[in-house]
Amino acid sequence: MTRAPRQAAAAALAAARRVIPGGVNSPVRAFGAVGGAPPFLVRGRGAELIDTEGHSLIDCVLAYGPLILGHGHPAVTRALRGQLLRGTAFGGPTEAETRLAERIVAAVPSVEMVRLVNSGTEATMSAVRLARAATGREKIVKFDGGYHGHSDGLLAAAGSGVATLGLPGSPGVPAGTVADTIVVPFNDLKAVEGAFEAQGERIAAVLVEPVAGNMGVVPPRAGYLAGLRALTLRWGALLVFDEVMTGFRVAWGGAQALFGVRPDLTCLGKVIGGGLPVGAYGGSRALMEQVAPAGPVYQAGTLSGNPLAVAAGLATLEALADGRAYAALEAAGARLERGLREAAAAAGIALTVNRVGSMLTPFFHPGPVEDYAQARRADRARFAQVHRGWLAAGVFWPPSQFEAGFLSTAHDAATVDRVAAAFATALGAAAGPP
Ligand code: HOZ
């Protein structure tokens, strides 16, 4: 594929930087970890994105996960168009909110009631508040490299953009706020046991991405999630699954359906909004009825349950509900994993591909990659070099070692093979020292 020089993107980034911090509205998008300017995007269709320079890109970012059906899926577009004509915000309840909640309750094993919010960040911070209120305890256990949005208490040792920028945390977060956050390594039950032995009576909840997705994809070891369930039950703490990334992505019903472990609270986002801003948290009736106005735990939002977001989310879940999409997503993910492995083997480069269904991360590391410390040992200079080659060959992959790549139902076998072939080309070009 011959590609025009990326001058327009550089100019667009320079213009954006004059009025937006770093030129982007979410840090990873600035391409700081891989170099160069990000493509400025104009439109998407299926698995394809078009940038301002007219380049066609295979989209493996998919808005960082929401677009499980690809861009412009007819059912989602139809639902959005219909809702657009009826109104975009009402400040009062709609029946569609109940239908989306019913869908979520029917699908997610541990959820009996659910509250819609506007983002994953809101979902996790609200779930933490509820966990603290329900237990009367203050401390939260989270995992090194786990990312749960940008609320103060959860920015300790965080993944995603915090990891990408190599930040220890964030100025502006009061020391007292993170003092109640206990950070332990992911996939290490002994470390969690140690935290409970040290301060078990004070721990309100363990907050975990059941498949870590913000240190790159790191699946749970066999028995790990069940072990967290047993420990939290033993100590009277709540288990909170942050399924913002995995919910309706790795399986209908999320990671808790896939791994057969029921948390007390579940945070959702991304796929349940079909590409519009949304989040949700849910759990047992007894817990959720503590949320205002049913109970005293306050949480609110002007645009919560927004009709457009709900319409896109409902249309997306309806398209996924028969479960057939998950078989196709698994096949596409397995095909890409195989393609990446074969390309690396042919180039003689050590590669570990971590994957659960249609979310995956290549680490230039002999492996295993089972926690954030191991993810950090991957060769990020080579990742950056390959990322540049991938982009030059027409593949839009998340510009960070610590983000997940995604596939959608619009990524057919030929498209997946093009992503793998572009990876092989990029690897060949990057075979020398990075
Ligand atoms: N933290 C988000 C995904 N892990 C990044 C989203 C974005 O930059 O758009």
Ligand 1 — pocket residues by CB below 6 A? 26, 28-29, 64, 160-161, 214, 403
Domains of the chain with bracketed CATH: 7-60+323-429 (3.90.1150.10), 74-320 (3.40.640.10)
Could you report the per-residue pLDDT of 197-245, keeping only the tens digit for each? 999 999 999 999 999 999 999 999 999 999 999 999 999 999 999 999 9
Could you report the per-residue pLDDT of 348-401, keeping only the tens digit for each? 999 999 999 999 999 999 999 999 999 999 999 999 999 999 999 999 999 999
Question: Distance (Å, rounded) from C-alpha 242 to C-alpha 225?
Answer: 12
Could you report the per-residue pLDDT of 301-357, keeping only the tens digit for each? 999 999 999 999 999 999 999 999 999 999 999 999 999 999 999 999 999 999 999
Say which residues have a Cβ less than 8 Å from residue 322's Cβ, sequence separation at least 6: none
The candidate with the shortest Cα–Cα distance to 106, out of 321, 275, 323, is: 321
C-alpha separations of 120 from 46, 65, 278, 319, 395 in Å: 24, 12, 7, 22, 26
- DSSP assigned state of 126: H
Distance 64 CA to ligand 1 centre (A): 6
Q: Specify which residues 359 forms β-bridges with.
A: 356, 406
Which residue do the tokens 């899926």 mark?
Answer: 73
pLDDT reported for residue 3: 53
pLDDT reported for residue 432: 56
Could you report the per-residue pLDDT of 32-75, keeping only the tens digit for each? 999 999 999 999 999 999 999 999 999 999 999 999 999 999 99
Catalytic member of 64, 147, 224, 372: 147
Distance 403 CA to ligand 1 centre (A): 8
Distance 244 CA to ligand 1 centre (A): 11
Is residue 434 predicted with pLDDT exceeding 50?
no
| Other Cβ atoms closer than 10 A to 48 | 18
Is residue 1 predicted with pLDDT exceeding 60?
no
pLDDT reported for residue 36: 92
AA identity, residue 380: R
- Ligand 1 atom nearest to 404, measured from its CA: 4
Q: What average pLDDT does the chain have? A: 95
Whose alpha carbon is nearest atom 7 of ligand 1?
26
Q: Decide if 372 is catalytic.
A: no
C-alpha separations of 215 from 64, 134, 233, 375, 403 in Å: 13, 30, 27, 7, 6
Structure tokens at 148: 């749960």
Which residue do the tokens 């577009």 mark?
Answer: 77
Whose alpha carbon is nearest atom 1 of ligand 1?
160
Catalytic member of 51, 180, 242, 371: 242
Q: Decide if 147 is catalytic.
A: yes
Q: Which of 160, 165, 245, 278 to mutate to test the pocket of ligand 1 (most atoms within 8 A of CB)?
A: 160
Distance 252 CA to ligand 1 centre (A): 22
pLDDT reported for residue 2: 41
Is residue 129 predicted with pLDDT exceeding 70?
yes
Q: Decide if 242 is catalytic.
A: yes
Q: 227 and 190 in contact (C-beta within 8 Å)?
A: no
Is residue 250 predicted with pLDDT exceeding 90?
yes
Whose alpha carbon is nearest atom 8 of ligand 1?
26
pLDDT reported for residue 365: 95
Q: Concatenate the DSSP letters of all residues of 275-330 into one string.
A: TSS-EEEEE-HHHHTTBTTTSSB----TTTT-HHHHHHHHHHHHHHTTSHHHHHHH
